[in-house]
Chain A
Amino acid sequence: MQVVHFFMKHALKPTQYAILAAVMLTASVGDTLLSRGMTQVGPVDLHHLPLLLHALANPYIVSGIVLLIGFFASYMTALSWADLTFVMPATALNNVVVALLSRFWLHEHLSLSRWAGILLIVCAVGFVAGGPSRTEHPSEHHELDVMDSGAGR
């Protein structure tokens, strides 16, 4: 019974998987747009910092920033019910998405070491996804108990 309870508590809901997918996709597409925009803006050095503000007029940078705000919102939602070390490998998958996009959409060549990199990150996600999503701290339960008893009085 205890075991069933443990797994029920840590199983993710479909909406929570959707949030993790959003974390992965918004970050990868947003980063791609940003890097494309920055190559158009050109190099920025310490003596020309106002150029960074000029970058805000670039449509690629603006859409990249919008997507990264979406990333931020879904990332924080994920952190509200999962550990940082659980969400991290999920965000690492965005590197894999970028690599696969460049292979199958932009038809770039993927070297053997890149395929190895993809495999390692996918394995990492598999490891972590198999474990609990949240570390339970006894102190938190204690606080809740105290709060409950307070409410009951």
Chain B
Amino acid sequence: MISAVAATLVPAHVFREWSCILVVAALAISGECLIAAAMRRLGDLDDLRTQPGLRGYLGPVRAVLSNPLFLIGALFMALNFFAMLFTLSIVELSLAIPAIASLTYIGNAAAAKFFLHENVDRRRWTAVLFVAVGVVLLAK
């Protein structure tokens, strides 16, 4: 319904471009939050090392790869990667990159507050807004 109204209000190609951008941002936010939740549950990866040297890293790698939250998050990130490649082929780079980046930063902060219960205080909100505006300015 909303998409039908939107389709009559904006030109088809603009609608298609922004749909792509929103899908890519939503996939990134879901993926990053799931992965952040997985890593938070696992705790400091250094503590999972079984022995000194390279072999000791097998412990953390195994713990991460067998975590279901991580696997679902990684699936979202993979979808995000291919959706991004597709989007870059139809949306101009100078629109796609800053739009996706700033939407992802703002969405991540909101999702981190509501789903991960992170303490997103005024300091962090200001930082997120600065980053979002900064990314847009950089792309100009």
Q: Is A40 an interface residue (CB 8 A)?
A: no
- Assess whether A88 is in contact with B134, with CB atoms less than 8 Å apart: no
List of B residues within 8 angstroms of A89 by Cβ: 127-128, 131
- Assess whether A117 is in contact with B135, with CB atoms less than 8 Å apart: yes
- Assess whether B134 is in contact with A117, with CB atoms less than 8 Å apart: yes
Q: Is B71 an interface residue (CB 8 A)?
A: no
List of B residues within 8 angstroms of A131 by Cβ: 121, 123-124
- Assess whether A123 is in contact with B130, with CB atoms less than 8 Å apart: yes
Q: How far is the CA of A135 from the CA of B130 in the complex (A)?
A: 21
Q: Is B26 an interface residue (CB 8 A)?
A: no
Residues of B121-140 contacting chain A, CB below 8 A: 121, 123-124, 126-128, 130-131, 133-140
Interface size on B, residues (CB 8 A): 48
- Assess whether A38 is in contact with B138, with CB atoms less than 8 Å apart: no
From B33, B39, B70, B82, residue with most partner A Cβ within 10 Å: B39
For the A-B complex, the count of residue pairs with Cβ-Cβ distances under 8 Å equals: 134
- Assess whether B85 is in contact with A38, with CB atoms less than 8 Å apart: yes
Q: How far is the CA of A89 from the CA of B135 in the complex (A)?
A: 11
- Assess whether B112 is in contact with A84, with CB atoms less than 8 Å apart: yes
- Assess whether A120 is in contact with B85, with CB atoms less than 8 Å apart: no
B37-65 toward A: CB 8 Å interface, digit per residue (1/0)? 00110111110000000000000000010
From A38, A72, A84, A111, residue with most partner B Cβ within 10 Å: A84
Q: Is A2 an interface residue (CB 8 A)?
A: no
- Assess whether A45 is in contact with B130, with CB atoms less than 8 Å apart: no
- Assess whether A88 is in contact with B85, with CB atoms less than 8 Å apart: no
Q: What 10 pairs between A and B have smallest CB-CB spacing? A: A117-B137, A120-B134, A117-B138, A124-B130, A79-B39, A124-B127, A121-B134, A84-B36, A44-B89, A135-B119
